[in-house]
Structure 1
Amino acid sequence: MAQLRKQQTLAQVAEFSGFGYWSGKDVRVELRPAPVDSGLQFVRSDIAPHVRIAADARNRLEAPRRTTLATGTAQVEMVEHILAALYGLQIDNCEVWVDQAEMPGGDGSSLAIVEAIEAAGIAQQEAPAKRLVISEVVRVGDDESWVEARPHKHGGLSVRYRLDYGPECPIGRETIDLKVTPKSFRNELASARTFLLEEEADWLRSRGLGTRVTNQDLLVFGKTGLIDNTLRFENECVRHKALDLVGDLALAGCELVGHVIAHRSGHRLNAELVRTILQEGRVEGGLRRTG
């Protein structure tokens, strides 16, 4: 087994703001440095006293099309893009201070978050990073949609995602296979944006959701293709699904060593995989292993 890297946090506070896609409310986010072994925690600064919500799969609440975490009655919503950026850049310890429940949607990607982190800088800490090493196959889901974790010998995390909307849909079928490193996350996943079908967008807007979001804020596909926007990658949709997957895998609370393969998986199955891995895991010599 390769030597453990050191834990990392931010060198200084990183800030960004925007509005929530679902709520339409303005929200400001501060990513603050945090001590060794504190992990990733959201802090609701608008609640007195402040409420801390750990980025832990056991704190996840079921919600459509997003990852929501809760402690007691306090929640944070649509956290997956922030978590993906933190995991992708190997930030182990961070306090995410927010003044609303829902995180800003931005352009539907993690790019603004990555840029804020890079501007603030990353600081190494004097403790080894925690790792969970996959030593046997763990799979959740059914024949239609599933996600599994497999061992591999190369260290670190790699992901493979297969997206399949069928031949009649303009999104179609797309696949990505990537070893997740800070460089590959920054270049290959961070800027991939949220997408949905036109009928899904119309249904949400008819119920008063997403009223501040335009077709330029994310990717909306009509029957003949993308509406009022331009793709950043030919396979941007599957890249965004891989980004979401990385964000959900961050709910393990440690670095994962293994190969994760997903077929039409979403937030619920991603979190179920993490919970299953953690339930079967055991700690050995500072490493958490499955099997």
Structure 2
Amino acid sequence: RIAEDIIQTPLIRLNIDDSSKEIFLKLENFQPTRAYKLRAASNTIRLANKEQLENGVWTISSGNFAQALAFIARKLNIGCKILVPDTIPQDKEDSIIQLGAQVIKAPIENAMNTLFTREYEGMEGLFIHPFSDPNVMAGSGTIGLEILDELPDFDTVIIPWGGGGLSCGIASAIRILKQDVKIYASEIDTCSPLAAAYKNDKIPDEIPYTPSFVDAIGYPFILPEMFALAKKLLDGSLVVGLEETADVIRLLAKRNCIVSEGAGALSIAAALSQNIGKKIVCIISGGNIDSLKLSKIMNGKIP
């Protein structure tokens, strides 16, 4: 169903000297919109019927899902509106507009609240949640099927946690076909809501948040239904720091000629810093990183 919209991304070995573990990279930054979200958007739109799509589609996102939904909607000649926080950087807004979508700005609190309410005044058409939707997660789950086909003897998978759609989608697919595997989320220490929820066995009332260059993930909240899924599907959350993440971005560029965004580097940072697994698959979820931030990182700085 989604084959004509996405590519089956490469699964390659990380070029490191550590002989105690093998780390493989699932390169979702190779997708046409440079992130895995294209799988989710494609699967969800293509499963909708004509009546559902009559007034177009819309979502809340300022990043990878916005671009993915706009890309598929343009390809299928479907109207697309993207609700974004009014703090959106100009380059991200321009990228969405270039893909043919209409951008609707809202105060950040109102925009984020849409993730819970799934509605916003004046928005019409089919709302597609960027992560808490069965078809969105199923689209992301195709990554797990590809891993099983290409590297059936892996023992560990590490997946960046944003809203949970990627982690739970991949884990759902793998758990059905391979039980003897550990599956972890990875988070940044500037905002790690899943780790905090695991620690307390409930979603905290307040989750500390500090803005950073790891800007594709790290929401200061968790939807209850996503935490319930995580508890069933994942073995925990591995938290890493900004310095470790920046080190991995440089490592990927120098050793594998790969450009990763901050979120995409988290899984490798976790694999390198923690004693888990011998044959580990790390999901590089995307490669959409601001060029100025990348330049600073490559020069040994943390933007």
Q: Please give the TM-score of this superposition, normalised by the length of structure 1.
A: 0.27
Q: Which structure ranks higher in relative contact order (CA pairs < 8 Å, sequence separation ≥ 6)?
A: 1
Structure with the bigger percentage of strand:
1
Q: Please give the TM-score of this superposition, normalised by the length of structure 2.
A: 0.26
